[in-house]
Structure 1
Amino acid sequence: MNLNQIDNVYLIGIGGIGMSNLARYFKNIGKQVSGYDKTPTTLTTELIKSGIEIHFEDNVDLIPENFNIENTLVIITPAVPAKHEEWNYFLTNNFIIKKRAEVLGLITKDSFCFAVAGTHGKTTTSGILGHILYESGADVTAFIGGIVENYNSNLIGSGVKITVVEADEFDRSFLHLHPDIACVTSMDADHLDIYGTSDAIEASFVEFAAKIKDKSKLFITTDLPLEGLTVAVNDAADYQAVNVRIEDGVYVFDVVTPTEILKDLKFALPGRHNLMNAMMAIAMAKTYGLETTAIANGLATFKGIRRRFSYQIKSEALTYIDDYAHHPTEIDAVYHAVSELYPSKKVLAVFQPHLFSRTRDFIEDFASSLSKFDEVLLLDIYPARELPIEGVDSTWLLSKMTNDKKELSNKENLIGAILSSDAEVIVTIGAGDIGEMVGTIKEALNEKN
């Protein structure tokens, strides 16, 4: 299909972090954009303010009248249930319906595409790279799976020649893309509800990596079973960060590449995992041909991704950090970053598990990761697209944790439970709707202090 022949774009699940950046993109290029989502959120409010029509009732009558079969593209998210009335209306009437991944494939096909793959680190790496390219003056659009603090948006730029996209392994979405330069940040088991086994996930990443014929344009960590240039922090690799130190709360480091040494780069996001994300972005930007000064400027001015180790309160008496982590490896990364920054302070983690299947598949790993914190408040599992699984709940997870202080909580009593803790560092963790509570938690903590 030719996107130039489309006048209208309708998104079912428009409030999702990935769907909403497509909505913004099509609005930027002059399409009429409308859509449905189940519940209002901060994201849908922002989209409505930008001039996009959104409703929250599954009702065919609310679809704009001028959205007809000849001029409308319908985009769906995998989370849409089969009985959804609007989706079935579009199916019955033979509208052009595409998954988000297919649409990204169409967009990237006609551009120079940077694709960032991996079970962790995609959003931050894409955000860093998109920001570096945009600040350098490149004609770029970057589709980010989180809100970039510099732009208060999950879309960077409005260019047409270059695209930066997250190559999402969920539902094998990344196989629709047409990457010119790519990286793989990690290949941990996840989405076993889709893949079944970790071997199947690995095979999918191998298939994605095969899309990059020139292996000097594929960047990988040193532990991955793929062919490409390696990237590492304080370890032997084709691109390696060395002489890493912290000055005034900021990482300062040198980068050894196959052809040169970049000196005294500065990067403010905490945690060695974020330094690794920055290294991936540096390797891709250098390979594309960006000057060192442009890369250094982009790194130094990058403010981070909302809900990726996002400081809400940062004072001597209290620190409050919010993070999207929803896999044991990501929770470990949060713990290590907090421990590096606040080695002698008591830490309270508030965790909302995401998906029944993920909780079941990684129950022992979740328990191990969460047990490292001094205190834990555990919310009910956020179901997202899933129905409950018998025996899989937060009580089961809590029983496997070994913290001296651990308890179940719910949204109604969460604020009180947080305020009763004497922890000096508080982290809220999870990919569900806990993110909608961050403002309320921050307000209550500020009042207490």
Structure 2
Amino acid sequence: MNIDSIQKVYFVGIGGIGMSALARFFNERGAEVKGYDRTETELTNSLKSEGIKIHFEDNIDALDKDVQLVVYTPAIPANHKELNWYRDNNYPVYKRSDVLQWITESMFAITVAGTHGKTTISTMIAHILRDTGFGCNAFLGGISANYEKNYWGSENKVAVIEADEYDRSFLKLKPDVAVLTAMDADHLDIYGDLETMEEAFIQYTKNIKADGSLWAKHGLKHGSRLQAKNKFTYSLQNDAATAYASEIRLNKGGYIFNVTGDEWKIEDVHLNIGGMHNVENVTVAIAVAKQMEIDADLIKQAVSNFKGVKRRFEYIIKDEKRVFIDDYAHHPEELAALIKSAKALFPNKRCVVAFQPHLFSRTRDFAEGFAHSLDMADEVLLLDIYPARELPMEGISIRTITERMANPNHTVLSKEGLVEYAAVAPIELLITAGAGDIDKLVQPMKEAILNR
């Protein structure tokens, strides 16, 4: 389908982070955009303020019958009335990933895939292209702290897209420049096992356009099977990679470092967000920007202006006495990187981690890893599992993690109990983590801490 010809589009599940970016794309291009979502959120309110009509009841009488395109998310249940009505009446119904495929086919596409870091890296690349004046159309899986949005447009026909491996949707994309960050086990409810998931990431690289490029993290498993005409690697500090960082120094909760590439070097780069993994993330973002032939001084300035992504090592409170960080981490490797980086930045502060597991299946599959990562904290506060799209699983609960923990200093709390903890306990370094609804507790916890 020609995206330029679409003037009326309806979204089933418009409030999702990826769906809302597409809704904004069509809305900004002058199309009439309407949609359904289950619940009203801050994001749906933002969409409504931009002129997009949204309702919150699955009701055939409320849908728009005069549309050229219906877009839905895989998270929509099979018995959804509106979606089935469109299908039964032969409307053009497509997944979000299909629309992203059309965009990659019609623009110069930079896509970022991998089990960790893809939201941050895609936001970093998109920010650098925007801040330097190069311009891009950004389709992000998180809210950029610089622009308070997950989408922005440009007359330059360049797209930066977060490539989501859930439901294999990223295999429809046709990138000119592809980034691959990691191939750790995740979404085993979809893939079944690690080997099947790894094959999907290998296939992702096979979809790169004929003259395209791949930037893969140095040392990735199956590196020799990853395919692209131009293959490059990036690393935190390994100088065997095509691009790497060096001389990393701590600087007020951020970092100063050099980035070296193939026949280029940018010295004294300032990254003003925390997390050593973010130094590695911005290294590949800088490498992609250099490949786009953007001036090194403009890149350096853009990186210093980067404020991060909401819920990715986001500083909620940071002063001399206490630090409060919120993060989306919902995989053992992400949780370990988060805790390790925070403790390295603030080595003299007692580290308390509040974690909410996401999905019963992920808890079952990675309980051992979660326990090991959480053991790194001085104290652990745990919320019950956030089920999202799943029904409870017999024998799987928060105890599945606590029984495997070596650190005895852990407590299971209610959501109200976590806010009460923030109000009375001494706070030096507090981290909230998880992909469920723990983020809704961040503001009450912040207020509780500040109002003591």
On whether the aligned pair clears a TM of 0.5, the verdict is: yes
**Using a 3 Å threshold, how does the CA distance of structure 1 residues 17 and 92 change in structure 2: closer, same or farther?**
same
Could you tell me how far apart the structure 1 residues matched to 2:155 and 2:96 are?
Answer: 19
Q: Shift of residue 404 of structure 1? A: 2.8
Q: Write the deviation string for residues 254-307 of structure 1: whole angstroms up to 9, x where unpaired.
A: 222111222222211212110111011111111121111221121111100000
Asked whether the 8 Å contact 2:245–2:260 carries over to 1, the reply is: yes
Partner SS for 2:70: strand
2:354 maps to 1:363: no
Shift of residue 161, structure 1, vs aligned partner: 0.6
SS in 1 for 2:39: coil
- Any residues of structure 2 matched to 1:34-49 within 5 Å, and which? 34-49=34-49
| Map of 2:164 onto structure 1 | 168
Contact in 2 for aligned 1:21/1:144 (Cα 8 Å): yes
Distance 2:28 2:209 in 1: 33
User: Residue by residue, what CA displacement relative to the aligned partner does 1:66-112 show, whole Å, maximum 9, x if unpaired?
Assistant: x42xx331111111111111111111111111111111111121100
Counterpart of 2:238, as a letter, is D
After superposition, residues 234-245 of structure 1 pair within 5 angstroms as: 234-236=237-239, 237-245=241-249
- Alignment match of 2:205 (pick from 194, 205, 209): 209
**Which shows bigger deviation, 5-14 or 362-371?**
5-14
What secondary structure is seen at the aligned counterpart in 2 of 1:305? coil
Residues in 2 aligned to 1:337 and 1:214: alpha-carbon distance in whole angstroms: 38
Equivalent of 2:115 in 112, 119, 122: 119
How many angstroms apart in 1 are the aligned matches of 2:322 and 2:267?
A: 35
**Which residue of structure 1 aligns with residue 14 of structure 2?**
14
- Match of 2:395, SS state, is coil
Matches within 5 A, 1:385-400: 385-400=389-404
> C-alpha distance in 2, partners of 1:169/1:372?
29
Note if 1:58 corresponds to 2:61. Answer: no
Q: Is the 8 A contact 2:244 2:280 kept in 1?
A: no
Match of 1:349 in 2: 353
Kept in 2: contact 1:134–1:156 (CA 8 A): no
Note the C-alpha offset of 1:445: 1.4
Is the Cα–Cα contact under 8 Å of residues 235 and 245 in structure 2 kept in the other structure?
yes
The percent identity for this pair of structures is 46
Pairing 1:436–2:440 present: yes
Aligned Cα root-mean-square deviation (Å): 1.6
Q: Does the alignment pair 1:258 with 2:262?
A: yes
Residue type matched to 2:171 in 1? L
- Distance in 2 (alpha carbons) for counterparts of 1:86 and 1:398: 42
CA contact (8 A) 2:253 2:345 kept: no
Q: TM-score, normalised by structure 2?
A: 0.95
* Distance across 2 between alignment mates of 1:20 and 1:249: 32
Q: 2:324 aligns with which of 295, 320, 327?
A: 320
2:428 to 424, 431, 439: 424
Gaps of 5+ in 1: none
Aligned-partner SS, 2:23: helix
Q: Decide whether the 8 Å contact of 1:217 with 1:284 is kept in 2.
A: no
Aligned counterparts, 1:226-237, within 5 A: 226=223, 227=226, 228-236=231-239, 237=241
| Equivalent-residue separation in structure 2 for 1:3 and 1:158 (angstroms) | 15
Does 2:308 match 1:304? yes
CA contact (8 A) 2:363 2:400 kept: no
Unaligned runs of 5+ in 2: none
> What is the Cα deviation at residue 399 of structure 1?
2.1
For normalisation by structure 1, the TM-score amounts to 0.95
For these two proteins, the number of residue pairs brought into alignment is 444
* 2-structure distance, mates of 1:223, 1:335: 23
